[in-house]
Structure 1
Amino acid sequence: MRALILAAGKGERMRPLTEATPKPLLSVGGKPLIVWHLEKLAALGVREVVINTAWLADAFPAVLGDGARWGLRLHYSHEGAEPLETGGGMLHALPLLGEAPFLAVNGDIWCDFDFARLPREPAGLAHLVLVENPAHHPGGDFVLTGDGRLSDDGDTRLTFAGIGIYRPRLFEGWRAVVGDAPGAAQTPPRFRLAPLLRAAMARGLITGEHHRGHWTDVGTPARLAELDTRLRGTW
């Protein structure tokens, strides 16, 4: 299995910390956020990892190198000066990810979820990890049904953790799904992943699971500082 770490965002809510350092390279618990993911992927047996980049892209190879120190081979999918959003970023990285299902994780989260729990072959087009709704996102994202499928309909929503297994076929016919969304007609295209997921959910092709452990969306300096304190102490 190959993996993709989404690391192209500008981290605007994290400024001034991200003016010279991409958010995934900010230190927490004594090491960059992204290194927590690299260590977990290496322990899982993943050997090929793609990192998509845009903002301050040169900082990633300068800090991470080729991944050899973790027993990994890192590949960088550079999107240009402007990030391509989650959907466009994944589509742009597909040539480096191959035809098999791949693991994707947001570079700006921290989670104690065990990647080994993820199915190597999702039942449908993707399998997503969900968590309890944090205070900054009380409305959640998707509904986890009793049969393990995800739905966009319902009141009891959970928050997408930014961790999942995807089949490249999720992107077949993506233009018809995203339509004339801003950026979709540019080269390379820029669009969000959520419309593709919702379209697949309507066909019953997205499964998921509820992780009840620790998860942090490191979206503000305050949440970064809180996570750092906890990782250096005890939960």
Structure 2
Amino acid sequence: MKALILAAGEGTRLRPLTTNTPKPLLTVAGRPYLAHLVQALGDAGIKEQVILVGWKANRVKEFFGDGRQMGVELSYLEQKERLGTANAIGVAEGVMDGDFVCVNGDVVMAPEAVAEMVSAFQKDRRPFMGAVEVPEPQRFGVVQHDNGKLVRIIEKPSDPPSKLINGGFFGLTTEVFDHIRRTGRSPRGEYEFTDTLNMMAAGMDVAVRKIKGEWMDVGYPWELLRANEFLMGRLKRDIRGTVEEGAVLKGDVVVEEGALVRSGSYIEGPAYISKGCDIGPNCYIRPSTCLGEGVRIGSSVEVKNSIVMKRTHIPHHNYVGDSIIGERCNFGAGTKVANLRFDDRTVRVTNKGQMLSSGRRKLGVVMGDDVKTGINAMIEPGTVIWEGTVVGMGARARGNIGPNSKVF
């Protein structure tokens, strides 16, 4: 059995994080988040996997290669035009020559749940869709079913027939391609796989299987933080780098070979320190912090529940909490990131021109690549700073700050 992973999207809602980096390569828990899915499918017994790529396809291919380093066999298809999810799956016709599992590349779920879904499909070979129970299904495609048999999927209903939504995990047979060819364009001009599934449900038995355990669809930056928190919670302690005498590492901390943790550093797991990192002396790394390759965390710095990407320097007297920091950023001394509103409400973020609730009580900054801050710069909760921006000495950054801006 093969797996098809849909990973062609641009991830525009995740910008500025995806301006230079394709969405599948964004780091969570020490690895690109797509790597966690590839590994889970491989561990479930599906070694032959096809990744559908699009945006910055070559970057994805270069990173994953043929998959041997992960114990799987990877190949690639490219979706030239973004014409919807049904079109995306249709690109694989001829390559998927038998029963196959199809997974949205945005999905993060427990490896044991992946294994359970794959095992059930291998046993009965009946087409299925994975469904997830959520408290507010009105915002999603809601699954209507009859004793575990799909009736239809209803997009964003005001009166949902259930609390189950489309979980982006499917077991399919080659019959799906005939249904895709007969799927018409939706009002927004795309070929929607939900329309294909509704067509299938009208003429054949499509099972609805509930996905157990943690599940999330990474669409917004703050959801990347949530995925990181979940996957970091599954880390096991592994110290391979250099840890100087006087450093304290508590709990499940990973220190890759080639990383240096200097004396006086205090690290609480789960935490991930990638190769080439230089940590300390005398800093505090708090739980669910993931530091990418070559990151520098200096003296009197505190980092909490954050993702800091490659070659970023946070060198002295800084606080970063509940934030995502892009590559090659540089923090001036005393730069602080606030992560909590005075009124204790959930932090709101401007995304694609809309003010959205992150659903998080604590959220700091979403920072693109190559951002620089001067000494004593201040960044408000929920701020988005796009790539190439400079925040000057003592300046206050807030809202959504466009690329290559100057804030003084």
Question: Which of 104, 107, 124 matches 1:106?
Answer: 104
For residues 198 and 79 of structure 2, the distance between their equivalents in structure 1, rounded to whole angstroms, comes to 25
Question: Deviation at 1:134?
Answer: 5.9
| 1:1-235 mapped onto 2 (5 Å cutoff) | 1-80=1-80, 82-98=81-97, 100-112=98-110, 113-118=113-118, 119-120=121-122, 124=126, 126-133=127-134, 135=136, 138-146=139-147, 148-152=148-152, 155-178=161-184, 191-233=191-233
Which amino acid is 1:223 matched to?
Answer: E
Deviation at 1:122, TM superposition (A): 5.2
Q: Provide the C-alpha distance between the structure 2 equivalents of 1:84 and 1:121, rounded to a whole number of angstroms.
A: 33
Is the Cα–Cα contact under 8 Å of residues 142 and 162 in structure 2 kept in the other structure?
A: no
- Per-residue deviation, 1:140: 4.3
CA drift of 1:230 comes to 3.4
CA positional deviation for 1:164: 1.2
CA positional deviation for 1:157: 4.2
SS in 2 for 1:97: coil
- After alignment, is 113-122 or 83-92 more displaced? 113-122
- C-alpha contact 2:132 2:164 (8 A) present in aligned 1: yes
Aligned pairs, how many?
Answer: 225
Native 8 Å contact 1:101 1:166 kept in 2: yes
Question: SS at the partner of 2:56?
Answer: coil
Q: Report the CA distance shift for 1:8/1:169 in structure 2 as closer, same or farther (over 3 A).
A: same
TM-score norm. by structure 2 comes to: 0.51
Higher relative contact order (CA 8 A, sep 6+): 1
Q: Look up the equivalent residue of 2:206 and give its one-letter code.
A: I
Paired with 1:60 and 1:132, the residues of 2 have a C-alpha distance of 31
Structure 2 unpaired stretches of 5+:
154-159, 235-287, 289-408
User: Which protein has the larger Cα radius of gyration, Structure 1 or Structure 2?
Assistant: 2
Structure 1 runs (4+) deviating above 3 angstroms are: 121-124, 134-140, 173-177, 179-183
* CA distance in 2 between partners of 1:104 and 1:127 (Å): 10
Per the TM alignment, residue 88 of structure 1 is displaced from its structure 2 partner at its CA by 0.8
1:96 maps to amino acid: V
Deviations 1:128-151 (A, max 9, x none): 1100126585454212321x2111
Q: Distance in 1 between matches of 2:165 and 2:137?
A: 11
CA distance in 2, matches of 1:29, 1:135: 28
Q: Distance in 1 between matches of 2:138 and 2:11?
A: 17
Matched residue type, 1:37: L
Give, in whole Å, the separation in 2 of the partners of 1:19 and 1:195: 31
Looking at secondary structure, tell me which structure has more strand per residue: 2
Q: CA deviation at 1:173?
A: 4.7
From the superposition, tell whether residues 233 and 152 of structure 1 become closer, same or farther in structure 2 (CA, over 3 Å): same
1:120–1:165: 8 Å Cα contact kept in structure 2?
no
Aligned residue identity for 1:161: G
User: How far apart in 2 are the matches of 1:116 and 1:169?
Assistant: 23
After superposition, the Cα gap between the structure-2 partners of 1:160 and 1:226, relative to the gap in structure 1 and judged at 3 Å, is: same
- 1:225 Cα deviation (Å)? 1.2
Q: Which amino acid aligns with 2:24?
A: P
Using the TM superposition, give the Cα deviation of residue 211 of structure 1 relative to its aligned residue in structure 2, in angstroms.
2.1
Q: Deviations over 1:174-216 (max 9, x none)?
A: 3433268776xxxxxx622111100111224211111231001
Give the structure 1 partner of residue 367 of structure 2. none
Shift in CA distance, 123/67, structure 1 to aligned 2, threshold 3 Å: closer
**Matched position secondary structure for 1:38:** helix
TM score, norm. by length of structure 1: 0.85
